[in-house]
Amino acid sequence: MNRVIQFTKIRYVMFAVSLVLIIGGIAGTIANGGFNLGIDFQAGLNQRVQIAQSAFDINYDGTADVTVNVARGVMDITVTELGETSSYEFSFEDYGTLKALAAVVSDIDGFSVVMAAADLTSSTQIVGFSYPVEVEGAPVIVNYVEASAEPVKIDDVREILDGIGSPQIQTIGDAVNQEFSIRVQDPGEDKDFSSNMASKIVTLLSDKYGSGNIIVKQTDYVGARFSGELGSAVFSMTLMALVLILVYIWFRFRLAYAVSAIIALAHDVLIMIGFIGIFQMEVVTATIAAVLTIIGYSLNDTIVVFDRIRENNRLMKDSKFKAIVNNSITQSLSRTVITSVTTLLAVVSLYIFGSGPIKDFALAMIVGVVVGTYSSIFIASPVLLGWVNVGRKKRNRGSQPVDTADKQSVTADNEVKLVNDAYKAEIPVAERKLKKKKKKK
Residue 426 in this model has a pLDDT that exceeds 60: no
Contacts of 383 (CB under 8 A, 6+ apart): 259, 260, 263, 264
Band (410; pLDDT cuts 50, 70, 90): very low
Over the stretch 315-335, which tens digit does the pLDDT of each residue have?
A: 888 888 899 999 999 999 999
Q: Are 402 and 410 in contact (CB under 8 A)?
A: yes
pTM for this prediction: 0.60
pLDDT over 80 (residue 359)? yes
pLDDT on residue 281: 85
Distance CA 145, CA 151 (A): 9
Q: Give the end-to-end CA distance of the chain in Å, rounded to a whole number.
A: 66
User: How many of the other CB atoms lie within 10 Å of CB of 394?
Assistant: 9
Q: Assess whether pLDDT exceeds 90 at residue 403.
A: no
Higher pLDDT, 269 or 411: 269
CB-based contact 180:46 (threshold 8 Å): no
- DSSP, collapsed to helix, strand or coil, labels residue 217 as strand
* Residue pLDDT, tens place only, 180-200: 888 888 777 777 888 888 889
Instruction: Indicate the CATH number for domain 7-40+226-396.
Output: 1.20.1640.10
Band of pLDDT at residue 375, cut at 50, 70 and 90: very high
Decide which of 425 and 30 is more confident.
30
| Amino acid 130: pLDDT | 75
User: Hey, what long-range contacts does 99-104 have (CB within 8 A, 24 or more apart)?
Assistant: 101/75, 102/56
| β 133-135/65-71 pair status | antiparallel
Q: What is the mean pLDDT of residues 310-319?
A: 86
Q: For the chain, how big is the Rg over CA atoms in Å?
A: 37
Contacts of 208 (CB under 8 A, 6+ apart): 156, 160
Which residues contact residue 238 at a Cβ distance below 8 angstroms, ignoring those fewer than 6 apart? Answer: 269, 288, 291, 292, 295
Indicate the pairing of strand 282-283 with strand 36-37: parallel
Q: What is the pLDDT of residue 21?
A: 94
Mean of pLDDT values over 16-22: 94
Q: How confident is the model at residue 401 (pLDDT cuts 50, 70, 90)?
A: low
Residue range 377-401: average pLDDT?
81
pLDDT digits (tens, 9 = 90+) for 39-78: 667 778 888 888 888 899 999 988 899 999 998 889 999 9
pLDDT tens for each residue of 279-306:
888 787 788 888 888 888 888 888 899 8
Q: State the Cα–Cα distance between residues 73 and 114, nearest whole angstrom.
A: 21
Give the model's pLDDT for residue 76: 93
